[in-house]
Amino acid sequence: MNFLSLALTTQPEPDWSRVQALPIHECDEPLVPLGLVPPPIRVYPTYFHLGIGGALSECYVRRSVLARLQKAARLLPAGIELVVLDGWRPLAVQQYLFNTLTQALRRHFPGEDEAGLLARARHFVAPASAEAASPSPHLTGGAVDVTLCDTEGGMLDMGTEFDDIGPWSATAAFEAVARPGPKEAEIIENRRLLYSVMIRAGFSNLPSEWWHFDYGNQNWAWFTQQPHALYGPARLPGLAGRWERQVALLGG
């Protein structure tokens, strides 16, 4: 069995307070767009297509994240391509996702206190934060949501939809199926393939989400046992800000 088909193991959820306490040594890598990147990487900004306010029509990641996505894509077998569903995420979109999920949980678990609701939501959506010491993972440009497709653009079966909040979204969930039929076996192989190429390319995976991978942020530092993260909160450079910096360099 080659590395692309190694069995996935169940990983515990991290201690989020300790994750957020990890130091960040910001390396100032810029955000770069993925829209011009050639196959075998495809870009489908899901939240934009869902019509979520403030969502971008382009996916952005840090420069080193792009290099690792390209490495992961090159490791895929012929006929399979990597699909990026989301990367850097504006704070307003992160807040919308967190609010929407917690509101749904509050309606379904009316007796749950706020701490319990936060713990449930935290499995799938981080609280919105642009704090320098503890930013939301997607706000750093180091988190990516990905899946696989064939050369015709048909998504491979991963067992759940992207952003599904059920127990089957856990990366290793289907490994527990005692007697997998043809459908389950296909899902298992697809998840193993995605996980294997992303980990080999230098990413870490969020155990509760088969689609979520990190590089350079606090999640990545925790799961790969690094002493510090490389990425804090990032912002897209606007034209006005760029001109301000250039004018300042003109002197006089």
CATH class entry, domain 3-250: alpha beta
Q: Given the DSSP bridges, would you call strands 212-214 and 204-205 parallel, antiparallel or unpaired?
A: antiparallel
Tell me, what's the pLDDT at 252? 54
pLDDT tops 70 at residue 92 = yes
The confidence score (pLDDT) of residue 114 equals: 86
Using DSSP bridges, classify how beta strands 41-43 and 80-86 pair: parallel, antiparallel or unpaired.
parallel
Residue 2 has pLDDT above 70, yes or no: no
User: Which residue's entry shows tokens 């006005």?
Assistant: 240
Instruction: Assess whether pLDDT exceeds 60 at residue 1.
Output: no
Note every long-range contact of 158-161, with CB atoms under 8 Å and residues 24 or more positions apart, other chains counting: 158/187, 158/190, 158/191, 158/194, 158/210, 158/211, 159/184, 159/187, 159/190, 159/191, 159/210, 160/210
Averaged pLDDT, 2-23? 90
DSSP assignment, residue 4?
A: G
How far is Cα 163 from Cα 35, in angstroms, rounded to an integer? 22
Q: What is the mean pLDDT of the chain?
A: 94
In the predicted structure, residue 245 carries a pLDDT above the cut 80: no
**Pairwise CA distance, residues 158 & 30, whole Å:** 32
- Read off the pLDDT of residues 231-244 as tens digits, 9 standing for 90 and up: 999 999 777 777 87
The whole-angstrom separation of Cα 68 and Cα 216 is 11
Strands 60-62 and 143-150: unpaired
Q: Is 157 annotated as a binding residue?
A: no
For 145-158, the pLDDT digits (tens) are 999 999 999 999 99
Kindly indicate the confidence band of residue 182, based on its pLDDT and cuts at 50, 70 and 90: very high
Q: What is the DSSP letter of 238?
A: P
User: Given pLDDT bands bounded at 50, 70 and 90, which one contains residue 119?
Assistant: confident
Taking residues 104-132, what's their average pLDDT?
A: 89
Indicate if the pLDDT at residue 200 is higher than 70. yes
Q: How far is CA 134 from CA 16, 90, 153, in A?
A: 10, 15, 36
Q: Please say if the pLDDT value at position 6 is more than 90.
A: no
The pLDDT assigned to 61 comes to: 98
Parse the chain into domains and list their residue ranges: 3-250
Secondary structure in 3-state letters for 177-202 = CCCCCHHHHHHHHHHHHHHHHHHHCC
pLDDT at 247: 86
DSSP notation for 67-131: HHHHHHHHHSPTTEEEEEEE-S--HHHHHHHHHHHHHHHHHH-TT--HHHHHHHHHTT-PPP---
Q: Kindly state the average pLDDT of the residues 218-233.
A: 98
Q: Is 138 annotated as a binding residue?
A: yes
Catalytic machinery residues: 209
CA dihedral 29, 32, 38, 39 (to 10 degrees): 80
Among 83-87, 113-117, 165-169, 229-233, which stretch is predicted with the lowest mean pLDDT?
A: 113-117
* Res. 36: pLDDT tops 80: yes
Give pLDDT tens digits for 40-63: 999 999 999 999 999 999 999 999
